[in-house]
Copies of this chain bind each other. A is one copy, B any other.
Amino acid sequence: MAGNTFGKILQLTSFGESHGKAIGGVLEGFPAGLTVDIDFIQRELNRRRPGQSRWVSPRNESDKLEILSGVFEGVSLGTPIGFVIWNKDQHSHDYSHIKDVYRPSHADYTYEKKYGIRDYRGGGRSSARETVARVAAGAFAKILLKKFDIQILAYVKQMGDISLNIDNINITAEKIENSPLRCPDSTTTEKMIRLIEKTASEGNTLGGQISCIIKGVPSGLGEPVFDKLHADLGKAMLGINAVKGFEIGSGFSASRMKGSEHNDIMENKNGNITTRTNYSGGIQGGISNGNEIYFNVAFKPIATIMQTQETINSKGEKVNIEGKGRHDVTVLPRAVPIVEAMAALVIADHLLRNNIARID
């Protein structure tokens, strides 16, 4: 009801403010009997962690996962998985300069209006630090998906005005992770790095796009009519901080196409039912058809910039706010594991939901 729970069967309830004691979550509905590889989950958290390279946030969060319940002798119990990631630098900064100031394009003002109170330290609940709970839960979902040979690969497709041309690229997890920006092409990565460095020197920030591919999804996932698979993926992505757009398959380009171009002709390739093209993005009528699922996610530029900006304070007075400290130019490389985590939660949830759709 209050918006902190995601999923219907596999359900993550997230809690925590960025500068409170901890970020954490409870993952309900994770099936019993699965071997839980804690190291794998920690590696997923490490992918989201700041300070991985000089191009992403230097804030020092070790982000060590502590599992409190639901796993016994390395195996899932079927009971809720409670977990926390402790916040390290709760008291390390001085936030008095933003205590009464509404930062432009942040959630300071809207939280204040909604609740009449806000934890002003570093964004509180509205901080992207909350997504650490999603990455932890998403790693559990990935463990479930592996059992069904489902693989999720997200990557940086565009940064500012530099786009990756994927036409001749075979996208692999290795290529993505080999790039400090999680862009699976070294030439494009280089261009993006130069753009980041230039933008940093201006005290500015960048938007961009992340693409995601999901391989191995069986046909039948997704529920008519409101919980279409892509509607749930869309909601998952739009719930990530700074996301402004989502498109599945052909997406916005479909709006300029004709039916005869866009229709995916069905074929039987030696007993394997598939389609000649995949404009649908692996989903028809909201239900997966067995093809690759792919989608794009648009991120706005980071709102915290190293420039002086006008704004108002809680009294409605005009004030200037200065950029302070070191901040990210782009969230995209760190958002890649978040996109994957949310996608994993959606697919795993629908995998379980689909288990009860029919009686054979």
One complex includes copies of this chain to the number of 4
Known: A3-B228, A158-B255. A357 touches B78 (CB 8 A): yes
A265 and B309 within 8 A (CB)? yes
Q: Quick check: is A301 within 8 A (CB to CB) of the other chain?
A: yes
Q: How far is the CA of A301 from the CA of B207 in the complex (A)?
A: 30
| Interface-side segment among A49-57, A183-191, A243-251 | A243-251
Which residues of B have CB within 8 Å of A110? 219-220, 222, 283-289
A84 and B105 within 8 A (CB)? no
Which bracket fits the contact residues of A?
Answer: 35 or more
Bitwise, A345-360 to B at CB < 8 A (1) or not (0) is 0000000111111111
CB contact between A117 and one of B33, B234, B236, B259 (< 8 Å): that residue: B33
B231 and A238 within 8 A (CB)? yes
Which residues of B have CB within 8 Å of A9? 1-2, 356
Q: How far is the CB of A277 from chain B (nearest CB, A)?
A: 10
Known: A31-B356, A78-B2, A224-B79. A301 touches B244 (CB 8 A): no
Q: How far is the CA of A302 from the CA of B263 in the complex (A)?
A: 9
CB contact between A16 and one of B82, B275, B290 (< 8 Å): that residue: B82
Q: Quick check: is A46 within 8 A (CB to CB) of the other chain?
A: no
* Cβ-closest chain B residue relative to A107: B285
Known: A13-B26, A17-B72, A225-B130. A263 touches B309 (CB 8 A): yes
B355 and A266 within 8 A (CB)? no
| Interface-side segment among A37-45, A118-126, A167-175 | A118-126
Q: Quick check: is A193 within 8 A (CB to CB) of the other chain?
A: no
Q: List 26 A-B contacts (CB under 8 A).
A: A1-B353, A2-B28, A2-B223, A3-B222, A3-B225, A15-B70, A16-B68, A17-B69, A31-B356, A78-B357, A102-B266, A110-B285, A113-B220, A114-B222, A114-B354, A115-B358, A126-B285, A144-B359, A204-B260, A207-B255, A238-B248, A254-B298, A254-B301, A259-B305, A268-B317, A268-B318
- In the A-B complex, the 6 residue pairs with the smallest Cβ-Cβ separation, listed nearest first, are A107-B285, A3-B223, A3-B227, A245-B247, A15-B82, A205-B259
